[in-house]
């Protein structure tokens, strides 16, 4: 009987530790199928990430798409060393901004302020059936306060 009681307590402790805290951001979570990678991308369509006024960072977006998958690779330089930034695909354009459509993986800068991250979105076709998309790298690691402001923006069309 003591072994059974111990097992029940152990399961309860694990359940509380694994899921007892709620997220503090309003940002959508990247899909479970997305995995950050730092491997070079195969040929794709490349777009420019344009910095907001006063921002010195810059970068590119490489988009790879097939019939059922869209991959977005963000290469950014000039970020604050060891910083972290929320990123998304938004509806609209950098000039006519819209809401968040899809979460991308966190952009995490290394000690030199460089980042290379890829998100693979399953069951997402590019180009969209209607409208346009653009990518945003936000100012901070979550969508709280000034962290939600745009740092870099890039349209996903020519």
Q: CA-CA distance, 44 to 40, in Å (whole number)?
A: 11
- Has residue 19 been placed in a domain? no
One digit per residue, the tens of pLDDT, for the chain of length 158 reads: 444 433 333 333 333 333 333 333 344 555 444 444 444 444 699 999 999 999 999 999 999 999 889 999 999 999 999 999 999 999 999 999 999 999 999 999 999 999 999 999 999 999 998 999 999 999 999 999 999 999 999 999 98
For 91: left if phi > 0, alpha if psi spans -120 to 50, otherwise beta; the answer is: beta
**Residue 140 belongs to domain with CATH number:** 2.60.40.200
Sequence-separated (6 or more) residues with CB below 8 Å from residue 67:
125
Containing structural domain, residue 120: 27-155
Please state whether the predicted TM-score (pTM) of the whole model is above 0.85: no
- How many domains, in total, are found in the chain? 1
pLDDT of residue 158: 86
Within 10 angstroms of residue 4's Cβ, the number of other Cβ atoms is 8
The pLDDT of residue 37 is 41
Distance CA 43, CA 64 (A): 8
| pLDDT for 43 | 64
Residue 47 domain-assigned (yes or no): yes
Within a domain: residue 41?
yes
Nearest Cα neighbor of 75 from 63, 65, 89, 66 is 63
In-domain check, residue 17: no
Contact 113, 79 (CB under 8 A): yes
Quick check: helix, strand or coil at residue 98? strand
Write down the pLDDT at residue 30. 54
- Residue 12 domain-assigned? no
> Has residue 51 been placed in a domain?
yes
Distance from CA of residue 76 to its chain's centroid?
A: 13
Residue 55 lies in a domain: yes
> Which residue, 84, 29, 90, 95, is CA-closest to 61?
90
């Amino acid at each position: 009987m003591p072994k059974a009681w111990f097992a029940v307590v152990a399961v309860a402790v694990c359940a509380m530790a694994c899921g007892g805290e709620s997220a503090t951001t309003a940002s959508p979570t990247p899909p479970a199928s997305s995995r950050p990678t730092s491997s070079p991308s195969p040929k794709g369509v490349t777009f420019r990430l344009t910095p907001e006024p006063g921002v010195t960072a810059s970068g590119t977006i490489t988009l790879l798409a097939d019939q059922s998958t869209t991959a977005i690779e963000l290469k950014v330089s000039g970020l604050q060393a060891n910083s972290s930034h929320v990123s998304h695909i938004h509806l609209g354009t950098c000039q006519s901004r819209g809401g968040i459509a899809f979460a991308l993986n966190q952009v995490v800068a290394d000690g030199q302020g460089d980042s290379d991250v890829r998100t693979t979105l399953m069951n997402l076709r590019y180009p969209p059936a209607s409208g346009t998309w653009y990518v945003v790298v936000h100012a901070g690691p979550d969508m709280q306060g000034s962290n939600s402001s745009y740092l870099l923006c890039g349209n996903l069309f020519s």
